Structure 1
Amino acid sequence: MGRTVQLVGLPRIQRHDQDDSAQTSTAGVEIHLCLELPRITDSNMAMGQVAHAVLSAIGTPAWMLHDLAETARIAAQYMVLHSAAPSYQLLVSTDEDGITVAVTDYTPPGLTASPAWQPVSHDNGADPGGTRAAPSDGMQLHRTPDGHIRLRTESRWRQAPPSA
């Protein structure tokens, strides 16, 4: 069961020893992080910085790190502009396949099942069949029937780094 942790400032990571060509040491290890931020001025920038710090701390290769942190910042900005929720959450999870980063305005009311996330098509319509949803290699927008929003992306450990 998780514990509630309060951050009094942004985390600082002093690690500079990552090898871009090496597979991360956390591959195969499951990590689940949930961080909630209030909806205030520049909270999207803080979300991107926190994502960068957390991803760096768990050993994310540099070629994945920037894109995932920037995705978290953009998703947080979208959340601030398109949701009236007073706060939103950064969700980071890893498994043997890769990293999933999501930002959502959904706060579970307790120990309940996950809501029914439905993909949203490029024309902003509900896509319950998932046939017109964004491709899996980019940011995916989902909504619940009661209007909550989630933006999520996945990145694979074994994916080759982009060529220079």
Structure 2
Amino acid sequence: MTWTAPDPTRTKPPLIADERPMLQSWLDFHRATLLTKCAGLAEEQLKQRSVEPSTMSLLGLVRHMTEVERGWFRLAAAAADIDYVYSSSDNQDGDFDDTEQADPATDFALYRREIELADAAVADLTLEHTFPHPRRPTLVYNLRWVYLHMIEEYARHNGHADLLRERIDGATGD
């Protein structure tokens, strides 16, 4: 039996909330949106690339966002001593490029786990918490900026995911 991407629960953000819960709810909404774009697709469909020369696929987007979550929340904000999952200094696009032999079930589980670990890593940090990013050590960011950046990053990639999904099976949605 072939694995298919599960359909996630997606909760709309509140219209009124304090800043941190509002940022978290929008981030969670966009995380679930990415998974919604993948829901019901089989492994080969998730690996289907857009058009050459792009190596973008829905699976690649899930793997990329695993790296982005890990990079900003755990490596940068929480200063965790960990490596990236799919990419390295000599293979910076491994998240997108190395999907041919990838196991989507494992990659989706890693993505969900990374979200849990990312949220836990910054739970006790204030939005004013500042830090450099290991790949950009001369710049200083705060956690508020990271939340806003992550929402923007997901919004952009969810647009890509929408186009990829439509190309795969004609499905469109919000």
| TM-score, with length taken from structure 1 | 0.29
Query: 1 or 2, which has the higher helix percentage?
Result: 2
Q: Which has the higher strand share?
A: 1
TM-score, L = length of structure 2: 0.28
